[in-house]
Chains A and B, each alone.
Chain A
């Protein structure tokens, strides 16, 4: 049915190697960090869908992770609902709140959406913090590990696979969405709203649906995180956290799904590399962001991002060394830079 190409083989090999990680590495700390990076990757993917594809700047993503996480944890622990229902319920709840917010944002423009999402995340955080009877306030809410039909994900290894499967599922669905009519609609809205409207795209509905889908995935990742750490606290869902989440897809490249995973991995692994780094974290991130926006606004893997620029440079050098005339040089550059498909 499917034609298998080189890229896919490479992907499968990479995946197979990655699956071995818990068997090769016995250090639970490393496995924990990698699992965490995978969950953040899902969030980064969902943000990429909202920010990179439909061009809406959302500064309140952590609130949706929190909504999904708290809902799932509370329903699972307090009301003893089966895990799978609580888990999906958390994601659906986040999507529902996303729908509410999206409905509001139908009537407002770009900047307002940004501000409204910040406001929304502040409201959510306050609710998490003050609604003692349900969320246990600022002490945080304790919950337990996921369990499917009697199997409990108690070990780090099993959680690793749980996160991996979740990431793969989310990645496939998001990739399919971006490759479909919907994804093209989002990109069209991002590039030129008026032309998009004249292509028959219902802009307001599309933006809202994008927001809902994004919220669903943020919610599912949030729920997984809470069950993984077995703990939810309002301090995990601040604006600063949202901003960090936002930087992941931006670093990886807006519009590039593999980029989001790389961005999320870099930004979750970096603080773990050295504890002393924490003090200079913001300084480093700040300089990184400014330079990135200046020279490669599309991050590492986005269109004409750092990867493309390096490839361009290499092919240009190679062409020059071969002594080709200038014209072919330029043509080759175009082909190497843009002949590939970046969302794959």
Chain B
């Protein structure tokens, strides 16, 4: 039973991890709360869903969803975030809330507030048993994809020119501009890829729960990704995966051993206690204030 729970927890965690990686990239670099992350990628997921309904090749549908998420966030960054980059912390957050509203309402107007069943049609879903424990192939895929993406991203950040540019910008935007890094373009790309990762995560989330609805954006996307990012450490890719796992584990274990009614409340409680004890997360990035 414990092992079964653990396996479920890991797969829930790895779904959250994908959402969190995209979120944490933006969060770590600009230290801005991206309140619209979830709702932006939700649009991408819904586009994929709509295309799959029209019997398009699933890969084309997924690709279109990714591109839509990417472009959408580019636009959002250009119009809602970039002009506010120097405007303190409240204004960009509120602007992001505005974007989240727009996206949510757009989804609601186009697709409606209902829950739809969702199937990507590229994973063959089957289960196998190890002893008493049931493992779904999908769970393994999801775990593999999230860890793979995390490793890929860390390598890209470390060994590519663009990756290094991103790291520079996270240290200081003016200095990187002086070094000839096109900061605006790089930041826009980070937002774009953040949304793309979000769409991947969102699609896997929908596949895992076999449904898609408007809440995948905010309730699952933004909130869980945000929690996972802080739990693991702002700006750390490894941290976001571990934080997401911690989130998944606490969710599954709370709902099976404590109370499924109070699941969210308890997880929040655990989370709040945790960040009060480790305010910088498990893998903190070094930030110090200067006079």
- Do A and B touch (CB < 8 Å)? yes
| Complex contact B101–A112 (CB within 8 A) | no
* Residues on A with beta carbons closer than 8 Å to the beta carbon of B223: 118
Out of A110, A123, A286, A290, which one reaches B269, CB within 8 Å? Answer: A123
Q: Considering only CB atoms, which chain A residue lies closest to B280 in the complex?
A: A109
Q: A243-B97, A288-B98 are in contact. Are A55 and B90 (CB under 8 A)?
A: yes
Q: Among A2-10, A175-183, A277-285, A330-338, which stretch is in contact with chain B?
A: A277-285
**B249-282 Cβ-contact flags toward A at 8 Å (1 or 0):** 0000000000001101100110110011001000
Contact bitstring B74-102, A, C-beta under 8 A = 1, else 0: 00000110011001011111110111111
- Assess the A293–B95 pair: CB atoms within 8 A: yes
Nearest opposing residue in chain B for A254, CB measure: B90
Q: Is the CB of A108 within 8 A of B276?
A: yes
Main secondary structure of the interface of B (DSSP, over half): helix
B residues near A254, Cβ cutoff 8 Å:
90
Determine how close the nearest CB of chain A comes to the CB of B147; give it in whole angstroms. Answer: 26
**Is A89 an interface residue, CB under 8 A from the partner?**
no
Q: Which residues of B contact A126 (CB under 8 A)?
A: 261-262, 264-265
Number of interface residues, chain B, beta carbon within 8 A: 43
- Within the complex, the shortest CB–CB distance from B23 to chain A, in Å, comes to 12
Tell me, yes or no, whether B46 is within 8 Å of chain A by CB.
no
CB distance from A286 to the nearest CB of B (A): 3
With A108-B275, A289-B101 as contacts: A119 and B268 at CB distance below 8 Å? yes
Which residues 95-120 in A have Cβ within 8 Å of B in the complex?
Answer: 104, 107-112, 114-116, 118-120
Contact for B102 among A57, A104, A283, A293, CB less than 8 A: A283
A283 and B99 contact, CB distance less than 8 A:
no
Q: Give Cα A285 to B98, complex, Å.
A: 7
Interface string of B190-209 (1 = CB under 8 A from A): 00000000000000000000
Are the CB atoms of A123 and B89 closer together than 8 Å?
A: no
Asked if B109 lies at the interface with its beta carbon under 8 angstroms from chain A, I say yes
B105 at the interface (CB under 8 A from A): yes
Pick the residue among A119, A280, A289 that contacts B98 (CB under 8 A). A289
- What are some 14 contacts across the A-B interface (CB < 8 A)? A57-B89, A107-B279, A110-B89, A115-B226, A115-B275, A279-B108, A282-B101, A285-B101, A288-B98, A289-B94, A290-B95, A290-B99, A290-B102, A293-B95
User: Which of B's residues lie within 8 Å of A, judged by CB?
Assistant: 33, 79-80, 83-84, 87, 89-95, 97-106, 108-109, 223, 226-227, 230, 234, 261-262, 264-265, 268-269, 271-272, 275-276, 279, 289, 291
- If A111-B33, A286-B97, A293-B94 are given as contacts, then 13 extra A-B residue pairs at C-beta distance below 8 Å, sorted by A number, are A114-B93, A119-B269, A123-B265, A123-B269, A194-B291, A243-B97, A254-B90, A282-B102, A283-B101, A288-B98, A290-B95, A297-B84, A297-B91
